[in-house]
Amino acid sequence: MPDAHSSDSADPFETRLAAGLRDAGGAFETDRAALVTAGALKGRRRLLRRRNAAVMSGAAGIALVGVGTAVLLPSGSGTQASPATSTHASATSSAPAPVSGQTLFRLLTGMVGDGAYSKVEARGTDEGPAPYVHAVYDDGKGKSAVELSLGRVEPGSDEARQATTCPAKVFTHYDACRTSRLADGSVVMVLQGYEYPDRRVDTKLWSAELVTPQGQHVSVSEWNAAAEKDSPITRPQPPLSPSRLTKLVAAEAWRKVIDAMPEQATTAAPAPGDTAFGAPVAPTLKSLLPKGLTVSDSSGDDTGFGYLVVDDGKGRSLVQVNVQANVSDVEGDLFGSDAEVLSDGTKVATHQGPGEKGGSGVVMWTVDTLRTDGSRVVISAFNSGAQDTASTRTTPALTMKQLREIALSPKWR
């Protein structure tokens, strides 16, 4: 998606900041504001889907149905699938049989229901990094993009928890979100939100995420348009209700497919951007605040990224922090020749400018730091309790000097 803001208005710091976060975060295409606030939207629940979408554009994807053609599944077509009757390998098998992309597509259509399916792409368990299906579904009430992604997460990890945690409303608009626990211990999150967190376009994105106690991760997404971006809205709501999304994502068939996935080799070296700061960010940030501030909202126990909404009696102010490790490789993108270099080699860059998430009168003040060991702390403060709501005060509750002191604190080491 092209940047929503003209590049002519971007300053060098902002451009470097965006480029660095893009490299550290896996080079996903997004707008500059989202890059600056990387992690704020708890985007990990959509990381699997976006990775799969990127891979599907290459040779690893298998197109089952060509663009412009459709598969029509009438009632009684014989393609109906259910968790109880789907074909799968034994749970005790040491080598479950691979599941093809075509089989995965048929399972999905059997559960979604009758209608026309077009622009189908699918990948099985032995055809790429993760099983995946994307299709345009039409039940006669308007076309809708539908996606299924399957994968694994480490049981009990932050990634597993965040995949099924409702996002904070200080960062994104949504109409409803609910997390529930199934009888088998699996956790399901159903989110009724929008493709664009700042609502620049009202394309609706409804999604369901399930993580089992064994770490099986099932993700289903649907839109009220034929494509997630740059496509006209075709219907008031996506086709599957929250209850149907829950039933779909909880189907036993998907877990059997995940069991058939090859085990991935453990990566020896940490990826750029991984956090080495194991403690929750928000409590550390709170301990570094100057006196006279009250906290009304926080990110809780999240690591790597955290935020607080503070007030000094003059209005709410959002403060957020990203803590990353192994960022030395993108140092040149983050810090130019104008960056300040401290006596210990730490680099510091600052920026003061308008907010970019649509809030009227919102300003964003940022201090970005990079230590010689490759660890990075970037802190931003806003003159509003959320980036996409109108300003509540003239300036953020923290001064640039205070932001600098917080970013350079040894507590982040």
3-state DSSP call for residue 408?
A: coil
Question: pLDDT 10s per residue in the chain (413 long)?
Answer: 333 333 333 444 444 444 444 444 333 333 333 333 333 333 433 444 443 443 333 333 334 433 333 444 433 333 333 333 333 433 444 667 899 999 999 999 999 999 999 999 999 998 777 899 999 999 999 999 999 999 999 998 888 988 999 988 887 789 999 999 999 999 999 999 999 876 778 899 999 999 999 999 999 999 999 999 889 999 999 999 999 999 999 999 999 999 999 886 433 444 444 555 678 899 999 999 999 999 999 988 888 899 999 999 999 999 999 999 988 888 888 898 899 999 999 999 999 999 877 678 999 999 999 999 999 999 999 999 988 788 999 999 999 999 999 999 999 98
Question: Which residues, 6+ apart, have CB-to-CB distance to 235 below 8 Å?
Answer: 141, 142, 143, 144, 224
For the chain, what are the domain ranges?
Answer: 46-259, 281-412
Encoded amino acid at 400, one letter: M
Residues 396, 5, 37: CA angle, nearest 5 degrees? 45
Cβ atoms 176, 208 nearer than 8 A: no
CA-wise closest residue to 137 among 147, 129, 150: 147
Is the backbone of residue 142 left (phi > 0), alpha (psi -120 to 50) or beta?
left
- The correct CATH number of 281-412 out of 1.20.120, 3.40.1000, 3.40.50, 1.10.490 is 3.40.1000
For the entire predicted model, the pTM comes to 0.65
For 10, half-sphere exposure in the C-beta direction (CA atoms, 13 angstrom radius) is: 18
Cβ atoms 111, 81 nearer than 8 A: yes
Tokens of residue 77, six digits: 């077509």
Tokens of residue 206, six digits: 């409804």
For 47, half-sphere exposure in the C-beta direction (CA atoms, 13 angstrom radius) is: 19
Distance in angstroms (rounded) separating the CA atoms of residues 184 and 132: 24
